[in-house]
Amino acid sequence: MSIEQRLREKGIVLPPAPAPAANYVPTVTVGNLIFVAGQVPFGPDGKLQFIGKVGAELSVEQGYQAARLCGLNCLAQLQAAAGSLERIKHIVRVGGFVNATPDFTKHPEVINGASDLFVEVLGEIGRHARAAVGSGSLPRGVAAEVELVAAI
C-alpha cells in the first residue's frame, strides 16, 4: 500500500507546509538526507494549538496530541521538500522537545505522539532513533516541538 493510500485510509490530511517563523529554512537536503527544522503545533487553520506547559496547564495526552500535530507538520515539510512522501526511504532520527514543568518526567510518552504517527503513516520506514527532552520553554509557549532527519 502506498503512503498516500495509507493517509487516505486513515483519514489523515497533511496541512500545508508551515512557513518559517524566523530567519531559517524549513528543510535542507544534503545528499540523500532531508533535515526538517523544528515544527511546532500549527493546526489546519494555521494557528498555534496546545499552548502551555505539560504537567501544569496541559496533560500528557494533550502533549501527545501536540507532538502528533508537530509530526503532521514534519510530514508536510518532507512532502514539500521531496515532492512526494513515496520518496522517503526511512525516518532516520527524531528530536522531540517538551515544554514541561521541572518535575515532569514523561517526555517519551509525549513525543510518542509524533513517533506513533510516523509509524502509522510510513510503516517500518517510520521507525527511528530519537531523543525526547524537556525544556523550560519553547517558541510562542507551545507544548512541543519536533524535528527530524529522513533518508530519500
Type of residue at 38? G
Q: How confident is the model at residue 70, as a pLDDT? A: 98
Report CA Rg, the chain.
Answer: 14
> For 110-131, how does the pLDDT look when each residue is reduced to its tens digit (9 = 90+)?
999 999 999 999 999 999 999 9
Nearest CA to 37 out of 73, 13, 82, 86 is that of 73
If pLDDT is split at 50, 70 and 90, which confidence band does 1 have?
Answer: confident
Spatial neighbors of 142 by CB under 8 A, at least 6 apart, are: 40, 41, 48, 50, 51, 66, 99
The CATH code that applies to domain 3-12+31-151 is: 3.30.1330.40
What average pLDDT is seen over the chain? 96
Phi then psi for 130, rounded to 5 degrees?
Answer: -155, 150
pLDDT of res. 38: 98
21 pLDDT band (50/70/90 cuts)?
A: confident
Where do runs of H (alpha helix) occur along the chain?
3-10, 60-82, 107-122
Q: What is the pLDDT of residue 12?
A: 94
Count CB neighbours of 104 within 10 A: 17
Give the domain ranges of the chain: 3-12+31-151
